[in-house]
Amino acid sequence: MIYNVAHGGASRVSWLRAWFDARAWRRPQNWPRAPRPLSLYAVQAGGCDGCAAEVAALREGGAYDLAPLGLRFVATPHDAELLVVTGSITRASVPWLMRWWDEMPMPKGLVAIGDCAVSGGIAGENYATLSGVMAARLPGVAQCDMTLRGCPPPPDEILRGLLMLAAGKVVSA
């Protein structure tokens, strides 16, 4: 299966899989609304696109209605409060991550989704990849506001973590 990472999106097959997964899932009614709206800017730094497909299921899937929960994905980092990073952090992606981080207004936060973004995943640190988003040394970042392990983590776990983060908890799962 070939993924079109160069053009910044999941392939049609992975998007279709994410859409079908989202249609089968229904949000539990007891999940609270975020105390304040959160705007998210999602970035795929590299890798297999698995975690990006799960984030795409949240963003574009019909079953995940984020507006009533107070979460929304934005098109530019200028409007975002949280930088959501998925995939392996390649050495070539670090300048882009720093650029997007610098473009975000204060206050801002960092979210790492998936094993590759958290700790480097199966590749770890080598000549081409870093051992997670913290190894990119973004200016002013002491820790991730949310780290979510999994390969890939399911959309409902991502949503649960984002809601806990919106409620003021530092999430590491």
Q: Quote the Cα angle for 97-112-53, to 5°.
A: 90
pLDDT at 42 over 80: yes
Supply the pLDDT for residue 5.
Answer: 40
Extract the tokens encoding 85: 């990073």
Per the model's pLDDT, the better-predicted residue between 140 and 91 turns out to be 91
Q: What digits encode the pLDDT tens for the residues 138-152?
A: 777 777 888 888 888
Supply the pLDDT for residue 33.
Answer: 63
pLDDT at 162 over 50: yes
Extract the tokens encoding 7: 């053009």
The distance of Cα 71 from the centroid of its chain, to the nearest Å, equals 13
Using omega within 30 degrees of 0 as the cis cutoff, is the peptide bond preceding 95 cis? no
pLDDT at 38 over 80: yes
Q: Quote the Cα angle for 151-133-5, to 5°.
A: 65
What's the CA gap between 47 and 36, in Å, rounded? 32
pLDDT at 154 over 70: yes
Supply the pLDDT for residue 173.
Answer: 52
What's the CA gap between 85 and 115, in Å, rounded? 11
Q: What digits encode the pLDDT tens for the residues 47-85?
A: 788 888 888 888 876 677 777 778 888 889 998 888 888
Mean pLDDT in residue range 148-173: 78
- Is residue 63 packed enough to be buried (19+ CB in 10 Å), middle (13-18) or exposed (0-12)? middle
Q: Could you tell me which CATH class the domain 37-172 is placed in?
A: alpha beta
Supply the pLDDT for residue 155.
Answer: 83
Sorted by where each begins, the domain ranges of the chain are: 37-172
Q: What digits encode the pLDDT tens for the residues 15-27?
A: 555 555 555 555 5
The distance of Cα 142 from the centroid of its chain, to the nearest Å, equals 18
